[in-house]
Structure 1
């Protein structure tokens, strides 16, 4: 199933130490979850970019803040990007209208396909989502809340299984 669970092999020790220092107000377990989910996002974003696909992942604000901290460490961040599968710098840009603007510009069907891609490739590379990881992926949280899916349902969908829920067409 998962082919690359250890995302900690990509950042330098100095970048990892910097992130832990910036997150020191949080318990160690939450620091590790946020760092790991940010690295997973960057890993997957690098794959999408390598394949010339639009990259818009709706990760939580807390993961975006970790990404900002990575970017501020310019040399370490550039090195991290070179070590990821896409082997190129991952730029960050904000949209004043956020995800709704992305959907409007990209198209609802394409945006939905993109979110399915994130779900599927997360599962392929890192295994199942957990309650702790899912809260940092807004697309996963949206599916869980909107369609009353459990984390087990999300993982079954990610693995390619069709999940039937009552009240969903």
Structure 2
């Protein structure tokens, strides 16, 4: 396998985890800006930037987000809501059935999760939430819809046990080479 254990990028990919237990220590504005800035380096369809990001740090608003997000198991001290600007999507002539904007949500989120890990923050994605409720809480204009929430904070010393992979699946178990 290429890429030695000392390769910083591969090490970051292999050691990043979804963190569910966080401390109450706030995320600094500088750290949050670093995570947000990383999203612009993620691959985007045609480099069109069809997404909007909402940074949330107010404790009351974070609590309200948790109330409408059953998938938010952690209690973050900051969150980034990744949204699709559907007016821009339509403006570029994309059909609403085009998967590109959703794929770009994933690449932006993955990049932000790695950036958070790289600066020592804990993070975790959340997709189980009421989109209408989140949009209302954040005062989003109609064409901008929330698609994913990246929770951020500082890791607690004790974490719940990680979810284990079933049957010890390795990469070779899920890859088919170009055979016919």
Q: Same fold, TM exceeding 0.5?
A: no
Report the structure, 1 or 2, having the larger helix content. 1
TM-score by length of structure 2 reads 0.33
More RCO (CA 8 Å, sep 6+): 2
TM-score by length of structure 1 reads 0.34
**Rg larger in 1 or in 2?**
2
Report the structure, 1 or 2, having the larger strand content. 2
